[in-house]
Amino acid sequence: MAPIDRSFSRRRFLGGSAMAITASALGTPFVRTARAQAATFKAGVITSLSGENILGGNLTKQGYDLWADAINAKGGVEVAGDRFKVEMFYGDDQSSPATGADAAERLIVQNGVDVLFGPYTSGSTIAVQPICQKYQVPMISGSAESPNVWKAKPEFNFGIIPAVDTTSGLSLGVLAKLSKPAAKTVAVISVNEPFSKETGEGFRDGAKAAGLEVVTYELVPPEGDLTPVISKIAALNPDVIAVGGHEEVLLNVVKTSKSLNYRPKALIMHYGITNPAFAQALGADADGTTGVVVWLPTVSYKDDVFGTAKDFAQMAQKKLGGEPDYTAAACAASGLVLGDALKRLGKKPALTPENRVALKDAIAETDIQTFYGPIKFEKDGPHYHDNIQPVPVLVQIQGGKTVAVGPKEAAAADYIYPLPAWK
């Protein structure tokens, strides 16, 4: 302990500064910063910039930013003959739903955003929905593929990517048609985490619908070791292994099966293989891996902000240093939906609460063509407010590049099946 005479002054100092800090903290909410610049539309991005979903979180942020950059380069969003720039605000949900809700409240109340762009994860999205409802702020989600997101019929939330149960299910049917001799059996590995599990269930149910036999359905914890599961599947020797998981597990599935010298005739994964880091990390071992996407740079769609899908890919390549995947594309397309709805609404910033409700209604009426494909939201049913227009495309990594292999009309290369044994 410090001598008494000193501790008195120190205590006083600390007490004084504590009071000062408290006073300034309490005062902060009342201080208004002067608005000097011209009127802008304010958009808030909630996503995972830290925590376990950081990779996908950054993909979504990059996608939303690409739209903001593109539209601002054109002078802004066109409303009633004028153009208004878009200002982006960000809130990290720390990969936790509770923080996502905090972030939404902050962006709406503190930053006064007119509209939100939704989180990467479905869990955060579900936690943010009630806040959007409370403040009547529309939210456009360029990710959040879990079907659970749409079950509660969120009035203010709209999804650009089809829920994963619609895509992963269909993909196995496409694969069965492409394979010669036709694949008959499938083993499903489903990582027990949100999204991954629903993907795995989509594979399982889709396989049955496509007439494939599911020899085993393995639900694995994300932290678990995969050797026991792969050994078990190797003993059952199915034609296809289908995996619902995120990047890290997908990588580990390939590494583990190689280290056990087991290769199925086809290995299909839903998400992550289109991230360049996947092929880069695995090198030649990534070759042959099949993936499911709802968008590729080679699709033939276009719009007047980004141009063709290829133009968009080039712009993304320049800004991000890698080929964009469908999450980034869908997030950028979220911006197009907003731009279109604002234009139809014809109200200048900042939007009044009534205008935001009208904006929500305008978004619900969206029916546009974009570089990402057609966008139109469901008006009813289990996928309420989700855009289930895009059809899944099968891609395969061939020589380190992702190429479309099916269905027939989208294919740019032949499907390699069965996969050769590990060298």
Partner 1 sequence: MALLPTNPQWRGLVLLAIIIVVLGVLPWTVNNYWLRIATGALMWAGLACSWNMLGGYAGYINFGQSAFFGLGAYVTAFLMGDPFGLPFSATIPAGMVVTALFAVIIGAPTLRLRGAYFAIATWAFAEVLIQFASAMDFTGGIGGIGLPPYLNERFFYFAMFGTAALAYFLTWALFERSRFGLKVKALRDHEPAAEAMGINTALVKLQTFVLSAVTASVFGAIFAYWVTFINPKSVFGGDITDQMVVMVLLGGLGTLWGPAIGGVGLFVVNRLIWMYWGDTAFYIAILGTAIVLVVLFLPNGIAGLFARRKNDALDKVMDKLVGTGAGGHP
Partner 2 sequence: MDLFLQTLLNGLLIGGVIATFTIAFQLAFGVLHVIDFAVGGWVVLGGYLGYYITAWLGLDGFIAIPLAFVLFGTLGYLIGPVLYNVRNSRTARPELMALALSFGLFTLLRGGMLTAWGFNTRNVTTTLSGESLAIGPITVPLIRVVAAAFAAAIAGGLFLFLYRTRYGLAIRATAENRHNAALMGVNIGRLSANVYGLYAGITAMAGVLMGAIYSVNPEVGLRYTLFAFFVAVLAGLGSVEGALVAALLLGVIEAFVSTYVGASYSLLAIFTTLFLVLLVSPRGILRRGL
Q: How far lies 71's CA from each of 67, 162, 269, in Å?
A: 6, 25, 34
Site for partner 2 in 157-216 (CB under 8 A): 192
- Among partner 2, partner 1, none, the one that 193 touches (CB under a kind-dependent 5 to 8 A) is partner 1
In terms of Cα–Cα distance, which of 229, 265, 262 is closest to 245? 229
Backbone angles phi, psi at 261, to 5 degrees: 50, 45
**Within positions 143 to 162, which residues make up the interface with partner 1, using CB under 8 A?**
146, 148, 152
Residue 248, interface with partner 2 (CB under 8 A)? yes
* Binding to partner 1 in span 73-112, by CB under 8 A: 90-92, 94, 96-99, 101-103, 105-106, 108-110
**Residues sharing a CB contact under 8 Å with residue 135, sequence separation 6 or more, in sequence order:** 108, 109
Buried b (16+ CB within 10 A) or exposed e, 378-408: beeeebbbbbbbbebbbbbbbeeebbbbbbe
For residue 276, count other CB atoms closer than 10 A to its CB: 17
Among 124-132, 268-276, 325-333, 406-414, which window interacts with partner 1 (CB under 8 A)?
A: 124-132
Kindly state the smallest distance separating residue 230's Cβ from partner 2, in Å: 9
Distance of CA 82 to the CA centre of its chain: 32
Amino acid at 135: Y
Q: How far is the CB of 61 from partner 1 (least distance, A)?
A: 8
CA 330, 334, 340, 341 torsion-angle sign: positive
Q: Indicate whether 216 belongs to the interface with partner 1 (CB under 8 A).
A: no
- For partner 1 (CB under 8 A), the number of binding residues is 50
Of 50 and 298, the one with the shorter C-beta distance to partner 2 is 50
Closest CA to 235 of 215, 253, 207: 215
> Does 285 sit near partner 1 (CB under 8 A)?
no
| Element at 67 (helix H, strand E) | helix 54-73
Q: Are 202 and 169 in contact (CB under 8 A)?
A: yes
Query: x-or-dash pattern for partner 2, window 41-60, by CB under 8 A?
Result: ---------xxx-xx--x--
Q: Is 225 in the site for partner 2 (CB under 8 A)?
A: yes
Using CB under 8 A, pick the residue from 6, 11, 74, 232 that binds partner 1. 11
Cβ distance 216 to 236 under 8 Å? Answer: yes
Give me the residues that bind partner 1 (CB under 8 A), please.
Answer: 1, 7, 10-12, 14-16, 19, 25-26, 28-29, 49-50, 54, 61, 90-92, 94, 96-99, 101-103, 105-106, 108-110, 123, 126-127, 130-131, 133-134, 146, 148, 152, 192-194, 197-198, 219, 221
Give me the residues that bind partner 2 (CB under 8 A), please.
Answer: 50-52, 54-55, 58, 192, 218-221, 223-225, 227-229, 231-232, 234-235, 247-248, 251-252, 255-256, 258-262, 275, 277, 281-283, 285, 422
